[in-house]
Structures are given as structure tokens and as C-alpha cells.
Chain A
Amino acid sequence: MKIKVRSWQWGIGLVAAVLGLLIVLQLRTELKIRAKLPTRQVNELAQILKNQQMRLAKYESEIATLRRQVSDYDRDREILRLKMAAGLTPLEGPGIRITLSDSEKKLKEYEDPVFYIVHYDQLELLINELWAAGAEAIAVNNYRLGSTTGFSCAGTTILVDTRRLAPPYIIEAIGDPANLKNALLMPGGFVEQQILSFNLKFIIETVDRLWLPAYKGSISFEHATAASEEGGN
């Protein structure tokens, strides 16, 4: 009986020792793992990984779309800028409106009416003065001036490009109104030389918001081709 008692106690003691050793070893390793990884099952981790990868792919495609949009936007902006420069898009902004028309003075017998009507070169001078004063866009009688616009006269009418103008000539220019106005009104300037001396009718008004249409003329390059910056032969 005594031996039996001892034997079972020793046996369980031995086994308990082995078990204690195993459990402590296991705990040590397990705690180390948990310190490194969150206490999650492999499947859960795999799911998380998959989700993250899907989100990554989504974000990557989003980035690609946004990049494309940015480049599109840049290109659009560039195109818009060029169109504005070329006069191919309607513009609006502050500026001045000039109304110019032939003199209403009763002419005497000896006076030549030629001096009392608006000539195309006067219009040209006016437009040039406006450009020089910093006008950004100009329209004459609601016809926008493009980069190749020229004035000419055919008999008694003035042509801008191929369009006939009839008085009164309404010139609208977008730019700093004060600058434009001062450029025309300065002593020895356009108004003094061309208007007052011929008694032409001339009105300048400042407009807060002008709207100019797009250039409607043709743009064709028959002789010119695009070349590199360096030029030369």
C-alpha cells in the first residue's frame, strides 16, 4: 500500500514537472510571438492583408486617375491660355469703351470732308495706342482683333480683316482702364493729335465688365510652319 501511494505521487510529480516545463516554455514563446504580432488568427491576418492589398490597388488606380486628371487639367489650362492669347475665346474684364465717329460739323464750301471722317489709319493708330498701353484684348464694333488682324480701306468704308465697319466705331479694350485712358488723353497723344484737330466725335467711358467675343476670322498657315527655338539654317 505504501509503495503504491509513493508511486502515484512520484509519477504525477514527474509528469507535473514535465508539464510545468512545457507550459512555461510555451508561454515564453507565445508571449514573445504576441509581443511581435497582434493576437490574431492566421486567417484573420490573411483577410486583413487581402483587404489592405485591395485598398492599395484601389488607391493606386485612384492615383493614376488623378494624375491623368492633373495632366489633362494642365493641358486644358495651357490650351485656354493659348486660346486667350490668340483671341479664340471670349474674354471679359474691366476696360474702356471708345466711341469714335465722323465729325458732325457743318462743313463750309472750302472744307474738304476727307478731313472730317474717320480713316482706317486713325483707327489703326488708336488700336496700336491701346496695345501699347497694355490692352489685353480689343474688339472693334464687336469684332475681336486676332493676331493677324489688319485694317484696310475700301473706298469709303473701313475693313477690319474682311469685315466692313460702319460708323460709329465702337472700340472696346480690356485692360487697366486708367492706363488705357491716360495713354489716349496724354498731351500730344492720340486724342489731341487725331481727334481734336479733326473735330471727330469721341467718347471714352470706363466699363467695369466688358465682354468681348472670340476672334471669328480665319487662321490658316499656308507658308509658315512650326520651327525649333534655335532657328537657323
Chain B
Amino acid sequence: MLIPIIGALIGILIGWRLPFEIPVNLVKYTAIAILAALDAIMGGIRAQLGQKFLFSKFISSFFANTALAALLCYLGDLMGVDIYIGAVVAFSIRLFQNLSLIREELFDRFWWWRSGRSDKDM
């Protein structure tokens, strides 16, 4: 669990120190990108908990989701379609689903651990 936290801290530090900022009119798309990234991370954790984690799949899904979400929203704005809203809704739903699944899984594990059974591979 240490490496993700260190990674996040490093990212925050870099972001804090970076000399440039996101242009104001692109903030909307980076927000969607962040949502997509959060979704990807939750998906990854869930996959890990379900023993289905694949490094390449995770990394590719993260970057593709993030970039595609932002790009699609931009395209939608160009065409006058609010794909932005669709992306927010879709990512949010998945995010919450993943969160609840992760919570369930962790709860189950904790329960099993309390009942005396050893943890599988954490």
C-alpha cells in the first residue's frame, strides 16, 4: 500500500512545483480526465482485489480512458453536444459501483480475517 501513496505524494509535489498551469478553457476537460483517472484507479484496485489485475491492461486503460474522455468531451463541445455530462454520469456511476465493490470485498476480507482465516495474498 506504500507505493501508491508515495506515488500520489510525488505526483502532488510535481504538480505543486510545475511552473505552468492548465489554460482556463481546458479546465473542464482536465476535470473529466481526473474523473476518468479516478475511475481507472478504482477499477484497478477492484481488479486487484478480484485477482484479475493486469499491469498492462490497467496502465493502458488509465491513459486511454483519461485521454479519450477529455478528447471526447472536447469534440462534443465542438459539435455542441454535451458529452461532458454523459462522461460525468458514466464515470461517476462506475466510480461508485467500484467503490462499493471494493468496500464489500475489504469488509469480507476483514470478516474472514477476524474469523481466524489467514489472508490470501495481501
Contact = CB atoms under 8 A, between A and B. Distances in A.
Contacts of B1: 9
Majority SS at the chain A contact face: helix
Which interface class (under 10, 10 to 19, 20 to 34, 35 or more) fits A? 20 to 34
Interface in A83-141: none
Given A15-B41, A26-B31, A20 B22 contact: no
A33 B41 contact: no
A91 to B, nearest CB: 72
Given A12-B44, A15-B40, A20 B9 contact: yes
A26 B22 contact: yes
B22 A29 contact: yes
Nearest to A24: B15
B37 A22 contact: yes
Contact of B4 (A5, A12, A33): A12
Q: Determine chain B's interface SS by DSSP, over half rule.
A: helix
Contacts of B30: 22, 25-26, 29
A21 B11 contact: yes
- Interface residue tally of chain B, by bracket? 35 or more
Interface string A1-44: 10011011111111111111111111011101100000000000
A41 to B, nearest CB: 12
Contacts of B107: none
Interface in B12-63: 12, 14-16, 18, 21-22, 24, 27, 30-31, 33-34, 37-38, 40-41, 44-45, 48, 53, 55, 58-59, 62
B79 interface: no
B3 A5 contact: no
Given A23-B15, A29-B22, A13 B37 contact: no
B58 A8 contact: yes
Interface of A: 1, 4-5, 7-26, 28-30, 32-33
Interface of B: 1-12, 14-16, 18, 21-22, 24, 27, 30-31, 33-34, 37-38, 40-41, 44-45, 48, 53, 55, 58-59, 62, 66, 121
